[in-house]
Amino acid sequence: MIFTDMRMSTNADVQNAAAYPLRPFMTRTKRRKCSVCNLYPALYVTYGDRLASENPFFYCEECFQPLHYDVNGDILYSDFNVYNYGMSLVVLARCTPPDSRFRITCADHE
């Protein structure tokens, strides 16, 4: 926390103690876009992905699914790690087929 101004309070100030410290601005959370299409926000981040040109690599849903799963929903290869890219990084799997559109599960990661 950095203090930019400190003084004694007056009647013109907010009287509710819970309102302090006042925040003059809120930092913006920067979200990464998909590294493939550069259009949609990234939902997945991969490490060690053989299709990726760099580590980590960010994918949106529209790009991740067709590049890693066939038309039957079977994984094309599984020698990489994939994580949910969002408010926090949560380990999703050592890459196995998804059981829903936005969640990947793994039998050995419970």
Helices (H) and strands (E) in the chain, counts: 1, 6
Q: pLDDT at position 15, please?
A: 82
Mean pLDDT of 32-54: 92
User: Range with the lowest mean pLDDT among 21-25, 30-34, 85-89?
Assistant: 85-89
Instruction: Choose between 101 and 42: higher pLDDT.
Output: 42
Which of residues 110 and 78 earns the better pLDDT score? 78
- Mean local confidence (pLDDT), 79-103: 58
Paired tokens of 27: 């930092």
Confidence tier at 16 by pLDDT (50, 70, 90): confident
pLDDT digits (tens, 9 = 90+) for 55-80: 999 999 999 999 999 999 888 988 89
Q: Is the dihedral of CA 58, 64, 69, 70 positive or negative?
A: negative
Q: What is the pTM of this model?
A: 0.56
Amino acid, res. 12: A
CA 22 from centroid of its chain's CA atoms: 28
Cα(81)–Cα(95) distance, integer angstroms: 6
